C-alpha cells in the first residue's frame, strides 16, 4: 500500500492495532482552548468526515465507520497518540495510512476529547 503522509486522520479505527504505548499526555490533558479545539475540528471535518461522524450529532457517511464522539467508549482516546505520530496502518481496503505533526496530534486529540465530554 502506498504510504500517505498527511496532517489528517481518517484511520481512527485502525488505531486498535498498536500495543502498549505510554502517551505523552495524561488522558484528557490535551489542549482545550477554543483555537486548538477548532483546529482539531477542522482537521476532522476536512479529512475524516467523508467516512466518520465527526460532530456531536451527525451520522457516519460509511457504514461501520465509528462516530468520533463514541471512540472513548471503545478505548482511551489518548491511545491514538502514538499511532497518529508513527502512522496508522488499517485493516481494511480504502482506509489510508496517516502520520500527523505533533501540533496536529494535540489539536485533534483535544477536539476528540471535547466530543467525549458532551
* Tens digits of residue pLDDT in 39-84: 999 999 988 888 899 999 999 999 889 999 999 998 888 888 887 7
User: Can you tell me which residue has the cell 499511532?
Assistant: 83
Please report the pLDDT score of residue 48 as a whole number. 87
For the chain, what is the domain count? 1
In a domain, 5, yes or no: no
In a domain, 93, yes or no: yes
In a domain, 1, yes or no: no
Residues sharing a CB contact under 8 Å with residue 36, sequence separation 6 or more, in sequence order: 30, 106, 107, 110, 111
In a domain, 4, yes or no: no
**Axis crossing angle, helix 34-47 with helix 102-116, rounded to the nearest 10:** 90
CATH number at residue 74: 1.10.760.10
Q: How far apart are CA 57 and CA 106, in angstroms?
A: 23
In a domain, 3, yes or no: no
pTM above 0.75, yes or no: no
Q: Which domain, by its residues, includes 46? A: 12-116
Q: Is 21 exposed, middle or buried (0-12, 13-18, 19+ CB in 10 A)?
A: middle
Amino acid at each position: 500500500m502506498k504510504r500517505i503522509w498527511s496532517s489528517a486522520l481518517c484511520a481512527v479505527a485502525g488505531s486498535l492495532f498498536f500495543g502498549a504505548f505510554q502517551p505523552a499526555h495524561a488522558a484528557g490533558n490535551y489542549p482545550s482552548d477554543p483555537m486548538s479545539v477548532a483546529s482539531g475540528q477542522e482537521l476532522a471535518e476536512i479529512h475524516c468526515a467523508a467516512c466518520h461522524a465527526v460532530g456531536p450529532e451527525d451520522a457516519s457517511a460509511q457504514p461501520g465507520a465509528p462516530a468520533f464522539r463514541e471512540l472513548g467508549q471503545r478505548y482511551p482516546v489518548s491511545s491514538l497518540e502514538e499511532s497518529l505520530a508513527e502512522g496508522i496502518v488499517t485493516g481494511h481496503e480504502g482506509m489510508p495510512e496517516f502520520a500527523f505533526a505533533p501540533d496536529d496530534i494535540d489539536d485533534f486529540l483535544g477536539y476528540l476529547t471535547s466530543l467525549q465530554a458532551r
